[in-house]
Amino acid sequence: MKDLIICFKLIKYGTQFKLMCILGAAFFGLGLLFEIQGMGSTNLGGLYLSLSGLYIFQLAFTPSIAKLVQTSPYKKKIQTAGTTVLSVFCCLVSFTVLVIIRVLKAGAPDFADNGIDIITHYSALIQAAIFVTVLLIYIAFSFKMYLTSLIICITLVMTFMFLSFNETKSPFVKITEFLMNGNDSPLNTIIVSYVIIIAGGIICYFVSCLLYKHELSGLAVKNTMRQSLK
């Protein structure tokens, strides 16, 4: 716990602290807006909320690039457990907001009158959870294998978005349908969604540990430093 507190305190020294905070808040705000004003037939709000929790990663990781931290025993803790736990925590918080909104909207008296399918409505949770997991795994690679991880991430996200367009063939809808098993209770879907995110966090941690001794990507460091000078 003490090490995590230190990692949290170092966030204010992260690259582009103000910008990352603004972007995180902006995506969170947009996610809320889409979720509250939307009719539940779109999952865009869930994706924005999911993204908002991941901006903490750069703020948690970049202080470890400094020479002083590079020679510190806290370097490994920052680049592995620290970044992972903080990222997963923020993602779980934003995801919980999504869960609360979806449950409240499904319980509204006029929900059925809007013609929204309950399975499609809750499939946003599975979709957001898998989206978060993909990005958690990506960030574990991002500062070590920047270009490769970026290409793979873009490919996965594009595939992810393509699968989301067709509700009848969407794997997220099919998974939700299986979990709900013909009833209106979202409990299984909610539990599985949290498990997926936590599993993504565990994978993120182990990948970070495996790549810890791998040199930082020169391209990633240059890109980060260039952004910090803007």
pLDDT given at position 69 = 57
Number of Cα atoms under 13 Å in the Cβ half of residue 203: 16
pLDDT at residue 41, rounded to an integer: 53
In this predicted structure, the answer to whether residue 95 has a pLDDT above a threshold of 80 is: yes
Q: Which of 47-61, 80-94, 146-160, 167-181 has the lowest mean pLDDT?
A: 146-160
Tell me which of 19 and 93 has the higher pLDDT. 93
pLDDT digits (tens, 9 = 90+) for 205-227: 999 888 887 777 666 555 655 55
The DSSP symbol for 185 reads -
User: Residue 47 has what pLDDT?
Assistant: 84
How confident is residue 60, by pLDDT bands cut at 50, 70 and 90?
confident
The model's pTM is 0.85
Question: What confidence tens digit (pLDDT) does each residue in 107-158 have?
Answer: 888 777 677 788 988 999 999 999 899 989 988 888 787 777 778 878 877 7
So what's the pLDDT on residue 223? 62
Q: Does residue 46 contact residue 31 with C-beta atoms inside 8 Å?
A: yes
**Cα 221 from Cα 218, distance rounded (Å):** 5
